[in-house]
Amino acid sequence: MDVGIHPAASGLDRETELGRARVYALLGLLLARPADAGLLGRIGALGGDGTRLGEALDALAAAAREARVEAVEREFHDLFIGLGRGELLPYASYYLTGFLHERPLAKLRGDLAALGITRAEGVAEPEDHIATLCEVMAGLIEGSLGDGAPGQDRRFFERHLGAWAERFFGDLEEARAARFYRAVGRLGRAFIAIETEAFALPA
């Protein structure tokens, strides 16, 4: 697994953009379901580059090398599923309004429809789950989603992630049940902070 560690900015080369997409895709994978042995092994082989994001990636790789699959499955359950509900509710509506299935979800559904993205059959999670939003960002950046128009990723980020994702990853980093996922939270918080700073620059 090659995860390029680069901030977002205008005028970046294709490899840099794909590096961003790979980080979003990795976060989406880790937040959609518990990491299996294969994914933990691939993450454990990653290495950072000495930047704040690279150091967070190093910490995630170290956590993956120490993690056991069964422990990660229990941790994922306690964090996101629980008995009735998990410790965290990883949804835009909840973070922005305090409730599920609120206006942020309706706004997201409209934007997904405009991008030609439909909900897969059998998926029970609302579309404003953080894993889904990361997967959409990865697709918009790499070009597998959307129409390839410039700035689609920026617009999607500003409308659906920028106001709450860094706070969610910070909560994940500090969650009582988090062990392996503490490092996931650190990586996500560092990455979203860089994206936020870069998108604040003039296009």
The residues pairing with 91 across neighbouring beta strands, listed in sequence order, are 129
Mean pLDDT of the chain: 92
Q: What type of residue is 129?
A: H
pLDDT-based confidence at residue 93 (cuts at 50, 70, 90) = very high
**Is the separation of the CB atoms in 46 and 57 below 8 Å?**
yes
Whether residue 12 has pLDDT greater than 60: no
| Cα angle for residues 50, 54, 56 (degrees, 5° grid) | 120
What is 14-82 written as a DSSP string?
HHHHHHHHHHHHHHHHHHHS---HHHHHHHHT----SSHHHHHHHHHHHHHHH--HHHHHHHHHHHHT-
Per-residue confidence (pLDDT) for residue 121, from 0 to 100: 79
Distance CA(34)–CA(50), nearest Å, equals 28
For residue 9, is pLDDT > 70? no
φ/ψ of 129, rounded to 5, equals: -65, 140
pTM of the entire predicted model: 0.92
Predicted local distance difference test score (pLDDT) of residue 3: 55
> What pLDDT shows up at residue 148?
85
Average pLDDT over residues 44-51: 92
What angle do the packed helices 69-80 and 180-199 form, to 10 degrees? 60
φ and ψ of 146, to 5 deg: 80, -175
Q: Tens digit of pLDDT for each residue in 14-34?
A: 888 999 999 999 999 999 999
Spatial separation of the C-alpha atoms in residues 25 and 31, rounded to whole Å: 10
Q: What is the pLDDT of residues 97-120, one digit of tens each?
A: 999 999 999 999 999 999 999 887
